[in-house]
Amino acid sequence: MKPTILYVEDDLEIGEWTNQFLKDKGYEVDWRKSGENALHEADSYSLVILDVMLPGLDGFTVGQRLKKSAPHIPVLMLSARSSIDDKLQGLNFADDYLTKPFHPDELAARIEILLRRYEKEEEECITLHHIHMYPKQNRIVDSRTNEELTLTGKQFHIFRYMIQNANQILTKEQIYEGVWGDPYIEGDKTLQVHIRYLREKIELDPSKPLIIETIRGIGYRVRR
Partner 1 sequence: MIKIPFNRNKKNTLSEIQQPIKSRWWKFTDSRVRWRHSLLVKYLSLVVCAMLLFFFLMPLVTIIIGIPMYWNDQAKEKENPYANGQTLMTTWHADTKKLKGDNEQAIEKHLVSWKAKLPKATVFWVDAKGVTRKMLPEQKSLPKQWTAQDSISFMKKSFEGDPFTVVSFIGGENAKEGFVAIQIPRKLMTYDGQQPLYTSEYAFAIMMTLTLLFVLFSWRFFYRIQRRLRELERAMAMTDEHGIPIMISVAKEDEIGQLQHSFNRMISELRASRKREQEEEELRKQLIANLSHDIRTPLTTIRTHVHTIQQENDVLQERSKTSLHVIVQKCEDLAHLVDNLLSYTLLSAKRYTFQPQAVDVVRLARESAAAWYPMWEKHQFEVEVNLPSAPIIWNVDQMWMKRILDNVYQNVVRHAASGRYIRIEMNELPNGISELVIQDKGPGMKVASSNKGAGIGLSIIEMMLKEMSLEQEVYSSSSGTTLVLTPKRGNIKNTNI
Closest CB to partner 1 among residues 9, 140: 9
Q: Are 98 and 107 spatial neighbours (Cβ–Cβ below 8 Å)?
A: yes
- CA proximity to 170, closest of 128, 124, 219: 219
Closest CB to partner 1 among residues 5, 133: 5
Give the x/- contact pattern for partner 1 in 183-202, rule: CB under 8 A: ---xx---------------
- CA proximity to 28, closest of 113, 102, 111: 111
Interaction between residue 119 and partner 1 (CB under 8 A): no
For residue 168, what is the DSSP state? Answer: S
Q: Pick the stretch among 33-41, 110-118, 137-145, 216-224 that binds partner 1 (CB under 8 A).
A: 216-224
Ranges of beta strands (E only) in 123-223 are 126-128, 131-134, 139-142, 147-149, 170-171, 212-215, 219-222
Closest CB to partner 1 among residues 30, 173: 173
- Among 2, 41, 43, 53, which residue interacts with partner 1 (rule: CB under 8 A)? 53
Q: How many CB atoms are located within 10 Å of the residue 189 CB? A: 9
Interaction between residue 61 and partner 1 (CB under 8 A): no
Interaction between residue 100 and partner 1 (CB under 8 A): yes
- CA proximity to 118, closest of 75, 74, 77, 78: 74
Closest CB to partner 1 among residues 119, 173: 173
Residues that bind partner 1 (CB under 8 A): 11, 13-14, 17-18, 21, 53, 79-86, 88, 99-104, 168-171, 173-174, 186-187, 215-219
